């Protein structure tokens, strides 16, 4: 509808987003389009995630971290496919009551992570909504032609390997909500992980070189393993006691009376943004060397098998897992 909050959206683009634009391909955000030269020998990888206040982030989350998380969850998707990110398009739905402070914080968060991850804004749209703050981001990356790592591709006998730690996503959500009775330092670390997870961008090349299948842990480790199992036509076996836990997660775990329930909660929580891979046994050594080189922890959690679905074990006993933590957000 013409004329809605007109100058504001124009100024938002002019003052906050234009400085973030790719110097060449974003056309200074003047043209409502980006123009991207082809890169022969490479495929363009595109992914899109949306976030809504009160659903995917908390009303209390600072908007600079919301912007960074939005960018990072998309970069995480690219990294899990073995792609090198370079840019993004952004749609902002600002609540009617939102002012310059919120928008400036949001743009500042983007600016910070653009430098950190070497990406630029290519275009987008900014509108006003009577609803909650909402955002949608389309991230773009390059991968050598045909080398994008799919969810399909796991073979029986492949090892299931994950980067970093599992469980800080769901514990971070609890921490940000004030639901965790841990020391302040732990709560701060977990909240920070929830608000600005670390996408494994630097590990994309290793994923591409060594993994047969991969995806990032966003819906929850077990749900995501379910996606891989179903896309690959294999079964996947996970040993819960192998879950790599951060120091904060370990501190939480030690307060729980039921260790299996606690580990299951961490394995179904989601929002971890680690990369979980199916790796042929012969390729594990190379993957580990790459992880060592970037000081990244790797953990073998189980294996792909004949069959279907995800089997979760603890101490060799099968654990029934009811909720798989599925979501699409």
Kind of pairing between the strands at 317-318 and 42-52:
unpaired
50 binds its own copies (CB under 8 A): yes
Residues 105-134 contacting its own copies, CB under 8 A: 122-132, 134
Q: Residues 5-34 vs its own copies: string with x where CB under 8 A?
A: -xx-xx--x-------------x--xxxxx
Binding range to its own copies, per CB under 8 A, among 47-55, 179-187, 242-250, 307-315: 47-55
Residues 140-169 contacting its own copies, CB under 8 A: 143, 145, 148, 150-152
Residues 277-316 contacting its own copies, CB under 8 A: none
Phi, then psi, of 309 in degrees rounded to 5: 75, 180
Contact 28, 18 (CB under 8 A): yes
Residues counted in the chain? 329
Q: Residues 228-267 vs its own copies: string with x where CB under 8 A?
A: ---x------------------------------------
| Tokens, residue 48 | 């899109």
User: Minimum Å distance from CB 45 to its own copies?
Assistant: 5
Say which DSSP state 63 is in: H
- What's the first-to-final CA gap in the chain, in angstroms? 28
226 binds its own copies (CB under 8 A): no
188 binds its own copies (CB under 8 A): no
CA–CA distance, 157 with 225 (Å, rounded to integer): 15
Class of residue 308 by CB neighbours under 10 A (exposed 0-12, middle 13-18, buried 19+): middle
239 is in an annotated binding site: no
Q: Which of 51, 54, 52, 53 is nearest to 71 (CA)?
A: 51
User: Minimum Å distance from CB 251 to its own copies?
Assistant: 22
61 is in an annotated binding site: no
45 binds its own copies (CB under 8 A): yes
32 is in an annotated binding site: yes
């Amino acid at each position: 509808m013409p004329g809605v909050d007109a100058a504001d959206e124009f100024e938002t683009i002019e003052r906050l987003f234009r400085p973030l634009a790719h110097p060449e391909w974003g056309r200074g955000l003047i043209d409502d389009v980006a123009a991207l030269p082809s890169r022969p020998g490479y495929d363009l990888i595109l992914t899109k995630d949306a976030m809504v206040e009160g659903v995917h982030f908390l009303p209390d989350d600072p908007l600079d971290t919301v912007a960074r998380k939005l960018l990072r969850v998309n970069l995480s998707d690219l990294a899990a496919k073995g792609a090198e990110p370079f840019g993004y398009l952004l749609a902002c739905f600002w609540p009617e009551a939102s002012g310059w402070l919120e928008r400036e914080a949001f743009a500042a968060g983007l600016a910070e992570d653009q430098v950190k991850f070497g990406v630029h804004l290519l275009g987008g749209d900014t509108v006003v909504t009577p609803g909650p703050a909402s955002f949608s981001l389309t991230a773009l990356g390059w991968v050598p032609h045909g080398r994008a790592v799919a969810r399909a591709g796991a073979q029986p006998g492949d090892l299931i390997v994950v980067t970093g730690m599992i469980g800080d996503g769901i514990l971070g959500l609890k921490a940000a909500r004030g639901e965790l009775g841990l020391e302040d330092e732990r709560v701060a670390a977990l909240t920070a992980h929830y608000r600005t997870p670390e996408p494994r961008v630097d590990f994309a090349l290793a994923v591409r070189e060594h993994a047969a299948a991969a995806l990032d842990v966003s819906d929850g480790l077990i749900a995501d393993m379910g996606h891989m199992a179903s896309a690959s036509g294999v079964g996947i076996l996970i040993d819960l006691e192998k879950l790599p836990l951060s120091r904060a997660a370990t501190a939480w775990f030690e307060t729980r009376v039921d260790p299996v329930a606690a580990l299951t909660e961490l394995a179904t929580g989601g929002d971890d943004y680690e990369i979980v891979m199916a790796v042929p046994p012969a390729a594990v050594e190379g993957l580990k060397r790459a992880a060592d080189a970037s000081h990244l922890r790797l953990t073998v959690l189980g294996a792909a098998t004949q069959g279907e679905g995800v089997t979760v074990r603890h101490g060799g006993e099968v654990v029934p897992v009811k909720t798989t933590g599925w979501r699409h957000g």
